[in-house]
Structure 1
Amino acid sequence: MPAVIVAPPRPAAFAALAATRPAPAGAAFLRAGAHARRLLLLKALLVRVRRRRAEVAPETLRGFEAAWRLLERTERVAPAVVRAVLDYPITGSWLAIALTEPAGPDLDRHLTRFELVAVTAALRAGQPLDLVVQAPTGVLSFPGVGSAHVAPGPVHVTSRSRVVRLHTGSAPPVLVRPTGSGAGPGWHGLRPLPGGTTRLEDLDPYRVPPGGVGSPARIAAERSDTDHAAWAGRWRAGRALLRVTDPARGVEVERTVGALVPLVPQGPRALGATLAAAPGAVLMTPSADAADMAETLVHELHHSKLSTLHELVPLYRPDEDGVRSTLYRVGWRPDERPVAGVFQGAYAHLALADLWRRAADARGVPRAWSERSAQQFDHVHDQVGEALTTLLESDELTNEGREFARRMRQIHASLSTGHGVRG
């Protein structure tokens, strides 16, 4: 597969990203950059497997090479389909784990996932299949489609007329379709959320890292504990509130969030998280109401945007080996944060301040939302200003990071006068 080179963002796109406002040029730059990185990491995994083939189990190596050939064949006839499967957020989570896993049985297990990535792309492209894949844990997870529970071991996979059949011994075959619908013992398809292409991702074993995410650890909710109707209702209500408050942000959320990953509840309000390796995935506990859902989506989406931008255009210098970064106080957390945490928090809270300013002034929004937004804006606006001063006084930013922070400060200042809520 060809490499993708991403040019630096144009000044207008860079400025739009710093402003936290949705902009086609900025979104296109982030999408292209995330895809380029995904291809780079996939190629790195291929190089590792081929250079260290003696450390990989023979059947795993054969399956990996066969999957690579299948993916290349599929890309020749349906490049957009392959790109969509590779860019699915949870594919990035899998790659990050596989690339850092030491050689041994666990790495072999992670490598078998690549067979299912290739099969998913072929399924969506309508390509014929006749191959054997490995299911070492008894779960075959097709990214963005669903999962099948089968007997651990080899599974014969065939396809015809855009339907994949999973054959395991004498059991009836499991049928899988590109939409996630299927039939047969052990099949569970991902369920879409209303009004777009976002999936409620409560199946994929790579949706949350081992041990959870954050501190205290936030753990993935199981399918059996996930109320799809409740999540769909919260999603619909949150999107509706965004559309009436800030239509551009509503569209951005709908187009950018590809997977919403339910976490085990930890209190009455939503706790969210993102993974740098999985842009487009928002991990969260159930929201309390529409405003809670809308705020969490905007907050976490901007963490994801800044992480992707930093990988393409470094905004601050990496830690020196063995030297702890300087820690700084921020208004929204009791603990001190490294420069990366200050930058991330300032960016996500600036986006919320922009949203709240619009909600406080917009016509047609619920009165309770308008009043709450005005209070939240006053509280957070000052905190963001203090964090931006901290960033601009730090010597840990790159030239690009300093320019980005300056532009953030301009937007922050405009919000205090009301000029930043236009457009």
Structure 2
Amino acid sequence: MIAAPPDPAVLAGLATTRPGPAGASFLRAGLHARRLLLLKTLLVRVQRHRETVASGALRAFEAGWLLLERAERAHPDVVRAVLDYPTTGAWLAAALTAPPGAAFDRHLAHLEPLAVTAALRAGLSVDLVVEAPGGVLPLPGVGRVEAGGPGRLRIDARSRSVRIGGGDGTGSRAVLRRHAHGPGGRLTGSGPGWRGLCALPGGATRLEDLDPYRLPPDMGMPPRAAADRADTDHAGWAARWTAARGLLRGTDRARAVEVGRSVDVVVPLVPRGTRSIGVTLSAAPGAILMTPAAGAVDMAETLVHELQHSKLAMLHELVPLHRSHSPDRPAPAYRVGWRRDPRPVGGVLQGAYAHLALADLWHRAARAPRASGVPGQWRVRSAQQFDHVHDQVAEALAVLLESDELTNEGREFVRQMRQHHASLGSGRRALG
């Protein structure tokens, strides 16, 4: 939550689902403030219950905290980027909800790799030995070092060169190079055991198939699985990403820009069946988890749809749009056109928001001139999809406005959604 509501114009702009710099800045600032709050909450928990934490995990956490403070004094923008990285949010959520014991200790020790990443990106001189559980040292947002077996790794960072080798100082498993002119302290690596993240073409979005916190365990029913590096078709993902971004640029340049700036990582999931699946995590805004798309249209629609879920979840953390329901009685559930199962009010709002963005996209695609390069087949399909989803969103918005579970800000937000929905016209008549 935030201390005071944002400018009503910012909320109104976000309610339309349309990209805008004011809304993006508000969400980014709120995300960072929340990350700092959660990190402080974790520190307080450790301080209050340090006698229950294993000595190794406590040492790693405290060493990581001191190193993070050093990096923050040298380059606060780099530390902010590391803390705001999507998987950092997933890590904080896992650590703060873990019960005391081995699971909590394991999560706690992850602060050290985070701090090492920040220190290396900030250009600090570093000479330390760190634990590598399972033989892997993750560097969130950069890659990981695979040590080949459980043990300790020595990190020797001087000037622009970083060597990561055996804990006894012998050998060299990876060499990293710091690029002073890169964005936000860029690192590249080589050598035995080095695995770097692959950047998707045309921007800063990365294909995240390495971070241990990229997918919570047992997520979904049945549980979904994150694709491993060896099973990820990087060339295929890059081609689909390029085609989807091109399609969005020809249809709606503002949304193409928003996807490029707001989707920090795409996490490949193991396919299940032929249908493409997209998922977002409320704890990890900026990450879109998805199975390989069937083509450019499939991926473009999934990116737009899932990005709205991420935006709305972030906004609800800052400005509650609906009230929490008492756990001692079942929450009301409502029927919506895009789901077979009844949904709680939060699910209705999430679905209406994401489908409103798709209706907006399809409205523009159906009206796109032939010179835009938008395929004629997609223009026809978009007109059909718009006609169908526009009515479903109208029904969901009516349900929301009749509910007494919205906050005052939530009710105004939905009114603004309805106003934008009405501006798109109604059914096929709006598409000429």
If the TM-score is normalised by the length of the shorter chain, which range does it land in? over 0.9
- CA distance in structure 2 between the aligned counterparts of 1:65 and 1:164, rounded to whole angstroms: 23
Against the structure 1 CA distance between its residues 305 and 6, is the aligned structure 2 distance closer, same or farther, given a 3 Å change threshold?
farther
Question: Following the alignment from structure 2 to structure 1, what is the Cα–Cα distance between the partners of residues 400 and 2?
Answer: 30
What are the residue-to-residue correspondences of 1:152-171 with 2, within 5 Å?
152-168=150-166, 169=168, 170-171=170-171
Map 1:65-144; keep pairs closer than 5 Å: 65-144=62-141
CA distance in 2, matches of 1:156, 1:50: 28
The TM-score, its normalising length taken from structure 1, stands at: 0.95
> Are 1:279 and 2:281 counterparts?
no
CA distance in 2 between partners of 1:193 and 1:206 (Å): 20
| CA drift at 1:8 | 2.6
SS at match of 2:425: helix
Q: How far 1:126 sits from its partner (Å)?
A: 0.7
**Paired position in structure 2 for 1:26:** 23
Check the 8 A contact 1:19/1:408 in 2, yes or no.
Answer: yes
226, 248, 254: which one pairs with 1:220?
226
Equivalent residue number for residue 47 of structure 1: 44
Query: Which of 244, 258, 263 lines up with 1:252 in the alignment?
Result: 258
Q: Which runs of 5+ in 1 are unaligned?
A: none
Contact persistence 2:121–2:187 (CA under 8 A): no
Using the TM superposition, name which of 112-121 and 172-181 deviates more.
Answer: 172-181
Which stretch shows the higher mean deviation, 288-297 or 321-330? 321-330
Match for residue 149 of structure 1 among 146, 150, 163: 146
Is 1:187 the equivalent of 2:194?
yes
| Structure 1 stretch displaced more, 159-168 or 21-30 | 159-168
Classify the secondary structure of the residue corresponding to 1:181.
strand
Structure 1, 169-178 or 122-131: larger mean CA deviation: 169-178
Give the alignment partner of residue 381 of structure 2, picking from 368, 372, 390.
372
AA matched with 1:111? L
Q: Matches of 1:346 and 1:149 in 2, distance apart?
A: 43
Alignment RMSD: 1.6
Aligned to 1:405: 414
Task: Give 1:180 shift.
Answer: 5.1
Q: Are the aligned partners of 1:141 and 1:148 in contact in 2 as well (CA < 8 Å)?
A: yes
1:331 to 332, 337, 360: 337
Which of 380, 383, 391 is 2:400 aligned to? 391
Mapped contact 2:173–2:193 kept (Cα < 8 A) = no
Could you tell me which runs of 5 or more consecutive residues in structure 2 were left unpaired when the two chains were aligned: 179-185
Paired amino acid for 1:189: G
1:164 is displaced (CA, Å) by 2.6
Distance in 2 (alpha carbons) for counterparts of 1:238 and 1:400: 34
Distance (whole Å) between structure 2 residues aligned to residue 98 and residue 26 of structure 1: 29
| One-letter identity of the residue aligned with 2:174 | V
1:161 Cα deviation after fit: 2.2
Partners of 2:205 and 2:314 in 1: how far apart?
A: 20
320 and 275 in structure 1: CA distance in 2 versus 1, 3 angstrom threshold: same
Does the 8 Å contact 1:316/1:398 carry over to 2? Answer: yes
Identity across matched positions, percent: 66
Match among 360, 369, 393 for residue 366 of structure 2: 360
Give the secondary-structure state (helix, strand or coil) at the position aligned to 1:137. helix
* Equivalent pair of 2:197/2:208 in contact (CA under 8 Å): yes
Whether the 8 Å contact between 1:123 and 1:177 is mirrored in structure 2 is no
- Matches of 1:261 and 1:194, distance apart in 2: 15
Query: Which has the higher mean CA deviation after the structures are superposed, 18-27 or 142-151?
Result: 142-151
Structure 1 letter corresponding to 2:391: D
Q: CA deviation at 1:233?
A: 0.3
Native 8 Å contact 1:6 1:32 kept in 2:
no
Cα deviation digits, residues 160-188 of structure 1 (max 9, x gap): 12333222255433223454532233221
Tell me the equivalent position of 2:308. Answer: 302
Tell me the equivalent position of 2:182: none
Measured in 2, the distance between the counterparts of 1:308 and 1:132 equals 37
Measure how far apart 1:6 and its partner are: 6.8
Distance 2:87 2:162 in 1: 21
